Every structure is written in structure tokens, then in C-alpha cells.
Amino acid sequence: MTNNLRRMSVLCAMLVASGNLWAQTIPVETNSNAVVLQADTNKNLSIIYFGKKLSNASEYNQIPATYKQTGDYTNQLNSAYTPSGSRNLLEPAITVTHADGNNSLDLKYVSHNVDKVDANVSILSVVLKDPVYDFTVTLYYKTFFKEDVVEQWSVIKHKEKGNVLLQKYASANLHLKAGNGFWLTQYHGDWAKEMQPEESKITHGIKTLDTKLGTRTNLFMPSVFMVSMDKPATEDEGTVLYGSLEYSGNFKTDLELDYQNNLRIISGINNYASAYTLKPNEEFTTPAFLYTLSSTGKGTASRNIHDWARNYKLLDGKGNRLTLLNNWEATYFDFNESKLFELLKDTKKLGVDLFLLDDGWFANKYPRNGDVAGLGDWAENKT
């Protein structure tokens, strides 16, 4: 056997031993960060890396071997979209009942495609399919390169002989590694005391952030959260993930610290009392889960989202805004012309463009002197 043949034999043996004889690696990159997907020889799609972008993309394949962890009994701990009913032992991203009543689902990699929207925005789509049922899930990753922001959602479709019941249908399924643990910053509140922060170390099991209110869903808890890795992040230091679901209805985010001490994050519409009947050939599209990763503290993560919102979500996000004066905190319901005049007399000097007269200006039969009367009587109250 020649030296070249020996080298080829050794290389093939190494590839077979490492499970990478056939591996489709799919980097999802922004200016500073990368989420790297990989389909293995069995077409299982996993997240093999989430962190700073590497200068040499070929090095992503070497990352899994650098972690010495206990065995993964299912090859699904770091799944990119975890199904339920078969091998999975942890919280699933999707749960279904097929047309024949079977609850088992397996999702295998089929193909992927990248659509370049413009110089800054790209959309990766990854098609997954059950090997037995004609049931597919397409994962979408929309990257905003300069802002270091990713929007992720899923589209579910089937061609079975009857309806399929969707019992859970997450938007995103992330997998994070950190040597010294994770810290969660979450928010809670009520009327007039919204967005009260709390920070705690994530322990084993599942931490759930959710709402079932249906309307005013952010009243007690918004979907916004941050996860710091290895230590609590400060404004200017530490690695931190910012995440939020772009949805005004009931949401649910599960943060599960598994037995390998890795963190799984599954976020989407709250499946509480929300089973959905999906007809053949109908598509179910989930809302987008939004996230950014910062290696320089919470401030950078926040500014990434601000930049993204101004550039892509807010109407005229970089335009000027009118300066508005509102009388509410100054007068509440108790005001008259002379009080309002005192508020208004110096507004030109201050550069105020607009005055808003708040609650209390209407109702005569039952004057609006408090919040228990007058609604619906929109006649001006002159008393």
C-alpha cells in the first residue's frame, strides 16, 4: 500500500470514527456572531456552536470535539428543533398528533437555501421532514448582519390523509454552552410598575417565562429576557444573549438546564389551551423569535436591538419626533383653563411641538372627575 493510500485509509477511519463522513455544516453568521447548524450522517440537525464568529469557517467542524461531556443518549440534546414522541428525553419544540392518531415525530434534514435580500439581510431556510409521515418543518433564520440580530421562525406543513393536531409549535430552539453556568435576567410587574428586573442563576430543570392572559399579555411579564454566560454580565462586560418573541398574544419561553449543564431555550406561542388543527397542504407560520448575542455586556445587546428596531421595525425610525407635553401627571382629572394656561405658557421656549390634553376633559351628566364615571359621554365638560 502506498503512503498516499495509507493516508487516505487513516483519514477515512478518522472520519467514520468521528461521525463526520457526511456532515452538512450551515453557519448562520452576522458581523460578530455565529449560530452553526450541522446535519450528521443520520440527517439529525443540531446546533454545534453559538458564539463569536470565527475567521475561518472550516474551524466550526472542530468545535464539538473540544467539549468533554457525558453521553447524549438520543443525539437530540442540541437539536435545532426538537420533536417529541420518539427519542427525545427533554422539552420538545414541537408536539403533534398525526392524522392516524400517532404522536411520534422525527425530523430529518432535507435541504437548505440562502436568499440574499440585500447587502445586510439574508434569509436561511432549512427543510426538515419526518421519515415516515409526509410532514415537514421549515426553519427560517433572518440575519441582520450589521446589527448582529437574528429573527427565527418556523413554518409547519403536511400532506397526510387527514388533519394533524399541533399541540406545541415553537418559533425557535436554541442551545448554549458555558463552563461556569448561566444567569437569567427577567422582568415582571403590574400597572404603573412595569419591567421590574430580577436576576438569578439558572438551576437544573425548566424555568418558564409565560403569560396566559390573552389580552394585555405583557401586564405581569413581558417576553423579553437576557441570559448571561459564565458570570452575571454588567453593562459593559460579559457574554449575554438578549431574546424576545415578536408576538402580542400568549407566549411561553422555556429555559432548560440539561444534565450536561448546557442551556436549551425554546420560545413561541403558549400552547396552553391552544391546540391547532392543521389541514393537509395548509401552512402554519409561527411568530418570529428575536435575539442578539453580545460579548461586551448588556449595553451592546440593548443597542443592537435599538439599531435593528430603528432600521427595520419603527416607522421613520431615524426621523425626527415631535416634542409632546401631556398634562396627566401635572393635573390628573383636576384641571381648568387657568391651570392649562400655566402649563402651556413656557412651552415655546422649551421647544414643545404638541400639547396633549389627557383624561378628564369630557362628560357632563356624570362628570369625568375620576376613573369610575363618564366613559362614552364624549361631550366637552366646561365646568
pLDDT of 280-296, one tens digit each?
A: 999 999 999 999 999 99
Superfamily of segment(s) 22-312: alpha-galactosidase from lactobacil brevis (2.70.98.60)
pLDDT digits (tens, 9 = 90+) for 348-365: 899 999 999 999 999 999
* pLDDT > 90 fraction of the chain, expressed in percent and rounded: 81
Residuewise pLDDT in 10s, the chain (383 residues): 454 444 444 344 344 344 445 689 999 999 999 999 999 999 999 999 999 999 888 888 887 766 667 777 787 899 999 999 988 889 999 999 999 999 999 999 999 999 999 999 999 999 999 999 999 999 999 999 999 999 999 999 999 999 999 999 999 999 999 889 999 999 999 988 999 999 999 999 999 999 999 888 888 999 999 999 999 999 999 999 999 999 999 999 999 999 999 999 999 999 999 999 999 999 999 999 999 999 999 999 999 999 999 999 999 999 988 999 999 999 999 999 999 999 999 998 999 999 999 999 999 999 999 999 999 999 998 77
Query: For the chain, where do the domains classified as CATH 2.70.98.60 start and end?
Result: 22-312
Please tell me the number of Cα atoms within 13 Å of 276 on its side-chain side. 19
Q: How far apart are CA 164 and CA 190, in angstroms?
A: 38
Angle at 355 between CA 353 and CA 359, to 5 degrees: 160
pLDDT digits (tens, 9 = 90+) for 219-246: 899 999 999 999 999 999 999 999 999 9
pLDDT for position 217: 87
